[in-house]
A and B are shown apart, each in its own frame.
Chain A
């Protein structure tokens, strides 16, 4: 390592001291990590987030970056809130951490979790995915600008298929905020594959996809009108951004790593270092290419700024609840009660 002379004078004794400390003192204090590091993935095994963390797990193992294995625990359900809550309540010793994307912000904003980024110690942000807005190939719209004009002239007519409360929903909310008085009609369609089927079948007018999803689906009869990044996506250099079309909306997806609140600083920096070294491996660089993710890593001040920006972006976003839905749960309760009475009668007369 090259260091200027003056710094070297300070650095070398310090490094020696650290070495001595590591050799003699750590066994007494308990070196971190002293047991496997569990990463909670709040989505099902085999899904996008799970695959993402498994790539890290593999790279860390193959390059011997950590003396302890990385263990993945899938705690799926309810938009990631069950897993994130488990992580929040875990022992803050650095051995249990969470990997959760922008869903951590949106779940809190939507009201499905009363905890959010502020209830964790951020470790790092790794990997950025762009987001695109797409329509079916028979759509009358050829640009986002046209589409948003129409959403303003005829509010609540264009159907946006989404996963309510998830980051994808917020892409649309940011679009609305970027074009005053424009309104979509939202409907629940679930994950990326289901959105594609609905868009192709003409059941919805538009939706959002990650760049990776769009890359996968683009030849099935759908077309992107804009990407939502600050700059154009490197995978689709000819696709205009929303800003270039005068719609002031930006959105993208980052994967964040979180530790429970009060996890000691040394453990956090160990994990930051581990993730940084993993990001530098060839395996991860290659996999990120196939996943169409930008191999960025943020720690320290950059990370805090990203988190603050994202929280700020959500301020002033108002979620309008969709059409009043039938209270099916109460209807079913009534039907069950009626059936119960009939069965009672049957039993008595028998």
Chain B
């Protein structure tokens, strides 16, 4: 593995891939999946190993780059950075943009390294373990995540729940995730897939934020200012060691599960950090623990998603599926035999996760000073630029103007929700989780012949359901006992 990365051409490819990934990840509207899918044909003519190195480096870069715009503009560059906006932006507006970036980048590195270690040493047992989770277990897991939702952001429980259930409602139109039948499409074919994640997400966050700033009459726009260093001292990391490791492990494990991506990894780690924190009230107002949890976890999902890919041939994420396609095109047979038949390909993938994460750290810390200047670009220039990228990104996704329309519509919805103090993050998480929950519940019911009993009779599922119930009771108790009465 070391030989491979001692050649300049391979290192050059890692550098190229990571830089492109970071750039695309940082631009709201453009995603890593898009970059990798577009680059895939270019790798056809490359050596298989070089092609894989380039694509994996892009993957690492894209997941990391999202934190830049999430922190400086409160617009997550990728879905994985939604949770980072909650604390990154408040910290940046309070005069510490460098520190917010530094925390995110450092946590990303740790998350990347932990998941790299798991990928390197534990790929096989972890992949085996993940197949034990059937539809009922996955459903219970989503219920646990939804139970965490109620306490998101700094709004009241009713508002959090309303935003979350609106998100779930918006996920309903389109093809039923389990039965494959059409629902609430009003006979319009372009509604068959419902509202897609990327247009909804960039609409809510990027377009919504622009509308909010442009229409604010009193000129009170939250400005990011300050010129502090992005270098975060070692004691800060040491005091957050437990949080770092926990978030990285959560991210790695969630990355392994097929169909559950980086956004949910960072959500779960964020909520776990908030629950375990001595200062949970700081979450959503610029908590360093929040930034660390979100960013460590989302980078950890990259290594996690590659675990089932190299050990079983099962992609753990959408990008994983594209990489699988790349392996096949290059004549490599993904699956358990890959290790034996093409060890160089496996080593290239594993090695790139390590090298690209380190390179990402160097690039981002080295350029943090310039990156932070992004926020001082006049809004007159920045906003049209971002809007242009969003429109292009939404259109390029499928070449459908419908997606652009959806994005603009959700821009208005996001702007109005923000006015009504409904938390956007809760909305988006409800929107992302709903199809996963529904698909798994319905698949489980179809397999059990309509019986809900396995939810409680299967041990893993039972544990998850009990945790969810306990979490809700515990939250209620915490609310009752807190001296600060709930807003009402």
Known: A58-B44, A198-B134, A339-B165. A85 touches B158 (CB 8 A): no
The count of residues in chain B whose C-beta lies closer than 8 Å to any C-beta of chain A is: 79
Known: A58-B44, A85-B189, A201-B134. A220 touches B179 (CB 8 A): no
Known: A193-B314, A194-B258, A201-B131. A77 touches B447 (CB 8 A): no
CB 8 Å contact bits of B168-182 with A (1 = contact, 0 = none): 110010111111111
CB 8 Å contact bits of B39-53 with A (1 = contact, 0 = none): 011001000000000
User: Which residues of A are found within 8 Å of B182, using beta-carbon distances?
Assistant: 78, 112
Known: A163-B180, A215-B333. A193 touches B313 (CB 8 A): yes
Asked if B6 is an interface residue, CB under 8 A from chain A, the answer is no
Known: A165-B180, A343-B162. A197 touches B131 (CB 8 A): yes
Within the complex, the shortest CB–CB distance from A310 to chain B, in Å, comes to: 20
User: Which residues of B are found within 8 Å of A328, using beta-carbon distances?
Assistant: 172, 438, 441
B158, B329, B422: the one within 8 Å of A54 (CB): B329
**Which B residues between 150 and 195 are near A, CB-CB below 8 angstroms?**
156, 158-159, 161-162, 165-166, 168-169, 172, 174-184, 189-190, 192-193
User: Which residues of A are found within 8 Å of B176, using beta-carbon distances?
Assistant: 325
Beta-carbon contact of A336 and B166 below 8 Å: yes
**Which A residues between 84 and 108 are near B, CB-CB below 8 angstroms?**
85-86
B40, B178, B337: the one within 8 Å of A45 (CB): B40
Closest Cβ neighbor of A213 among chain B residues? B313
User: Which residues of A are found within 8 Å of B324, using beta-carbon distances?
Assistant: 46, 193
Alpha-carbon separation in the docked complex, A342 to B150 (Å): 14
Beta-carbon contact of A322 and B179 below 8 Å: yes
Beta-carbon contact of B328 and A51 below 8 Å: yes
Within the complex, the shortest CB–CB distance from B224 to chain A, in Å, comes to: 30
CB 8 Å contact bits of A33-66 with B (1 = contact, 0 = none): 0000000000011111011001101100000000
Known: A197-B131, A336-B165. A77 touches B449 (CB 8 A): no
Beta-carbon contact of B321 and A187 below 8 Å: no
CB 8 Å contact bits of B436-450 with A (1 = contact, 0 = none): 001101111111011
User: Which residues of A are found within 8 Å of B181, using beta-carbon distances?
Assistant: 111-112
Beta-carbon contact of B180 and A82 below 8 Å: no
Known: A112-B175, A112-B181. A78 touches B193 (CB 8 A): yes
Asked if A200 is an interface residue, CB under 8 A from chain B, the answer is yes
Alpha-carbon separation in the docked complex, A198 to B172 (Å): 25
Asked if A28 is an interface residue, CB under 8 A from chain B, the answer is no
Beta-carbon contact of B335 and A329 below 8 Å: no
A79, A161, A188, A220: the one within 8 Å of B336 (CB): A220
Beta-carbon contact of B335 and A339 below 8 Å: no
Alpha-carbon separation in the docked complex, A113 to B466 (Å): 42
Beta-carbon contact of B314 and A44 below 8 Å: no
B38, B159, B446: residue with the most chain A Cβ atoms closer than 10 Å: B446
Beta-carbon contact of B183 and A329 below 8 Å: yes
Within the complex, the shortest CB–CB distance from B194 to chain A, in Å, comes to: 8
Known: A78-B193, A329-B183. A188 touches B162 (CB 8 A): no
Beta-carbon contact of A44 and B192 below 8 Å: no
The count of residues in chain A whose C-beta lies closer than 8 Å to any C-beta of chain B is: 78
Known: A44-B318, A110-B180. A54 touches B162 (CB 8 A): no
**Which B residues between 315 and 346 are near A, CB-CB below 8 angstroms?**
315, 318, 321-326, 328-329, 331, 333-337
**Which A residues between 177 and 205 are near B, CB-CB below 8 angstroms?**
185-190, 193-194, 196-198, 200-204
A46, A77, A325: the one within 8 Å of B40 (CB): A46
User: Which residues of B are found within 8 Å of A266, using beta-carbon distances?
Assistant: none
Asked if A217 is an interface residue, CB under 8 A from chain B, the answer is yes
User: Which residues of A are found within 8 Å of B449, using beta-carbon distances?
Assistant: 156, 185, 323
User: Which residues of A are found within 8 Å of B130, using beta-carbon distances?
Assistant: 197
User: Which residues of A are found within 8 Å of B126, using beta-carbon distances?
Assistant: none
User: Which residues of B are found within 8 Å of A196, using beta-carbon distances?
Assistant: 312-314
Beta-carbon contact of A82 and B189 below 8 Å: yes
Beta-carbon contact of B158 and A342 below 8 Å: yes
User: Which residues of A are found within 8 Å of B318, using beta-carbon distances?
Assistant: 44
User: Which residues of A are found within 8 Å of B279, using beta-carbon distances?
Assistant: none
Alpha-carbon separation in the docked complex, A78 to B326 (Å): 24
Alpha-carbon separation in the docked complex, A329 to B171 (Å): 9
A51, A77, A202, A321: the one within 8 Å of B329 (CB): A51
B259, B447, B450: residue with the most chain A Cβ atoms closer than 10 Å: B447
Asked if A216 is an interface residue, CB under 8 A from chain B, the answer is yes
Alpha-carbon separation in the docked complex, A74 to B37 (Å): 10
Alpha-carbon separation in the docked complex, A55 to B350 (Å): 27
Asked if A238 is an interface residue, CB under 8 A from chain B, the answer is no
Alpha-carbon separation in the docked complex, A78 to B443 (Å): 17
Known: A325-B178, A349-B488. A219 touches B400 (CB 8 A): no
Within the complex, the shortest CB–CB distance from A81 to chain B, in Å, comes to: 6
Beta-carbon contact of B445 and A82 below 8 Å: no
Beta-carbon contact of B446 and A322 below 8 Å: yes
Alpha-carbon separation in the docked complex, A161 to B488 (Å): 48
User: Which residues of B are found within 8 Å of A86, using beta-carbon distances?
Assistant: 400
Within the complex, the shortest CB–CB distance from A216 to chain B, in Å, comes to: 4
Asked if B459 is an interface residue, CB under 8 A from chain A, the answer is no
B189, B259, B443, B487: the one within 8 Å of A81 (CB): B189
User: Which residues of A are found within 8 Å of B184, using beta-carbon distances?
Assistant: 329
Closest Cβ neighbor of B446 among chain A residues? A187
Closest Cβ neighbor of A191 among chain B residues? B321
Beta-carbon contact of B259 and A194 below 8 Å: yes
User: Which residues of A are found within 8 Å of B335, using beta-carbon distances?
Assistant: 216-220
User: Which residues of A are found within 8 Å of B399, using beta-carbon distances?
Assistant: 73-75
Known: A46-B321, A46-B325. A339 touches B172 (CB 8 A): no
User: Which residues of A are found within 8 Å of B334, using beta-carbon distances?
Assistant: 216
Beta-carbon contact of A324 and B450 below 8 Å: yes
User: Which residues of B are found within 8 Å of A9, using beta-carbon distances?
Assistant: none
Known: A58-B41, A291-B328, A325-B442. A188 touches B190 (CB 8 A): no
Cross-chain pairs A/B with CB under 8 angstroms, 30 sampled = A45-B40, A46-B36, A46-B324, A47-B321, A54-B329, A58-B44, A74-B398, A75-B400, A81-B192, A82-B193, A85-B189, A112-B175, A112-B192, A156-B449, A165-B180, A187-B447, A194-B314, A197-B131, A200-B131, A201-B133, A219-B335, A322-B179, A325-B442, A326-B445, A332-B165, A332-B169, A332-B434, A342-B158, A343-B159, A346-B156
Closest 6 CB pairs of A and B: A77-B193, A46-B322, A45-B37, A78-B192, A203-B134, A339-B162
Q: Chain A: residues with CB nearer than 8 A to chain B?
A: 44-48, 50-51, 54-55, 57-58, 73-79, 81-82, 85-86, 110-112, 156, 159, 161, 163-166, 185-190, 193-194, 196-198, 200-204, 212, 215-220, 286-287, 290-291, 321-326, 328-329, 332-333, 335-336, 339-340, 342-343, 346, 349-350
Q: Chain B: residues with CB nearer than 8 A to chain A?
A: 36-38, 40-41, 44, 130-135, 156, 158-159, 161-162, 165-166, 168-169, 172, 174-184, 189-190, 192-193, 196, 258-259, 308, 312-315, 318, 321-326, 328-329, 331, 333-337, 398-400, 420, 422, 434, 438-439, 441-447, 449-450, 487-488
Known contacts A48-B325, A110-B180, A188-B446; 18 further A-B pairs (Cβ under 8 A): A51-B328, A58-B41, A78-B192, A86-B400, A112-B181, A193-B324, A194-B259, A197-B312, A203-B135, A204-B447, A212-B328, A220-B336, A286-B331, A321-B179, A324-B450, A328-B172, A343-B159, A350-B487
